[in-house]
Amino acid sequence: MHWKIYHNPRCSKSRQALQMLRDNGIEPRIVEYLKNPPSAAEVLELMHMAPGPARDLLRTDDAAFRESGIDPDAVDTAALAEAVGREPRLLQRPIVVCGQRAVIGRPPEAIRTLLEAQP
């Protein structure tokens, strides 16, 4: 299985998620999304892989989100993905991907759903 983590090393939850993966023998591909922002297409793909509404992948309580003026209930998924592509600080963190599934690692224990599903 291919594992990936959209990671912010300054975030304690992101560090905990990465450590949880490593504690389970997984060395994921680390994407420091603030240094190497995902494209709108990549964000859209994440939105389709993660359970729940697309808006769950947004940091709606972050100042950058409030400043963006985006109403996540009024715009479509593609527009949300484009907004994150332009401003990666809007992306929730961490996001862990395994194969075709993704979860938001807040709290880090949410990653267990992916760990338990691996063969």
The answer for residues whose C-beta is within 8 angstroms of residue 3's C-beta and 6 or more apart is 21, 26, 27, 28, 29, 96, 97, 98
Identity of residue 11? C
Q: Residue 113's CB: how many other CB atoms inside 10 A?
A: 13
Give the separation between CA 7 and CA 10, rounded to whole angstroms: 9
Task: Give the catalytic positions in this structure.
Answer: 11
